[in-house]
């Protein structure tokens, strides 16, 4: 199965999902969108009001700002894959709960395995928490780490800048560094594939990743 088919298959699984209580209040699932062969993936936290209405990620005010940030990095939305750690809206935009994050984690892992991006940008602390267990976003935003030959770049969530305008310039500066990071990551990713081969799947149907190289957590200066 190729990446596009895998992404479609994951989308279908999400559409029928009742693994956590968020399915009771959702209007639409929000699996994510973008090319299945994208070299860069953006992972936010959870769908909000407009995302729940439309079934698309980042379509509200935070989405407009994300478009601006992408433009600052010389990218267009159509070139990148955008998703969230949970695929259904928490009621009243509350924070996702631990059991919801756990229930939904497998979908995100399947998406990452299928797309196999060279760079993952985490937007906000729930997304960052998948890779960085300790550390404050205020200290490590914009500083990449490597995990399994992939570059992980923690960033603030664009919505944070809507509440705290001083974060606007911080996000713009961090996004402006992305093109250089992508070049470095693509090189690293190619080398990793040469050494370890492409990611393997335990089971092509559920798409679970078998290869899990020892994690390197080197903060770049």
- Can you give the binding site for ligand SF4, defined by CB under 6 A? 14, 17-20, 22-23, 29, 86-88, 100, 103-104
- From the number of C-beta atoms within 10 Å of its C-beta (0-12, 13-18, 19+), residue 135 rates as middle
Angle between helices 61-72 and 166-176 (to 10 degrees): 40
CB of 103 to ligand SF4, least distance (A): 4
Q: How far is the CB of 45 from ligand SF4 (least distance, A)?
A: 12
Between 88 and 120, whose beta carbon lies closer to ligand SF4?
88
Run of H or E including 178: helix 178-196
Q: Minimum Å distance from CB 155 to ligand SF4? A: 22
Cβ-proximal residues to 127 (8 Å cutoff; 6+ apart), any chain: 43, 44, 45, 84, 85, 157
**Nearer Cβ to ligand SF4, position 23 or 125?**
23
**Minimum distance, C-beta of residue 199 to ligand SF4, in the bound complex (Å):** 22
CB 62 within 8 A of CB 123: no
Residue 94 or 163: which CB sits closer to ligand SF4?
94
CB distance 15 to 29 below 8 Å: yes
Q: 29 or 199, CB closer to ligand SF4?
A: 29
């Amino acid at each position: 199965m190729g990446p596009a088919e895998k992404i479609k298959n994951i989308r279908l699984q999400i559409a029928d999902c009742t693994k956590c209580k968020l399915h009771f209040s959702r209007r639409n699932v929000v699996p994510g969108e973008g090319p299945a062969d994208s070299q860069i993936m953006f992972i936010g936290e959870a769908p909000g009001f407009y995302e729940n209405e439309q079934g698309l990620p980042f379509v509200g005010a935070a989405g407009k700002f994300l478009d601006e940030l992408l433009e600052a990095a010389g990218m267009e939305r159509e070139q990148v894959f955008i998703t969230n750690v949970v695929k259904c809206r928490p009621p009243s935009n509350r924070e996702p709960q631990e059991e919801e994050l756990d229930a939904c984690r497998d979908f995100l892992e399947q998406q990452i395995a299928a797309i196999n991006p060279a760079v993952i940008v985490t937007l906000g602390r729930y997304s960052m928490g998948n890779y960085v267990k300790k550390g404050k976003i205020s200290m490590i935003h914009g500083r990449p780490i490597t995990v399994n030959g992939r570059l992980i770049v923690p960033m603030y969530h664009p919505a944070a800048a809507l509440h705290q305008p001083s974060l606007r310039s911080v996000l713009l500066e961090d996004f402006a560094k992305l093109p250089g990071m992508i070049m470095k990551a693509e090189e690293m990713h190619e080398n990793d594939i040469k050494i370890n081969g492409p990611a393997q799947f335990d089971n092509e149907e559920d798409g679970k990743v078998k290869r899990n190289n020892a994690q390197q957590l080197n903060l770049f200066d």
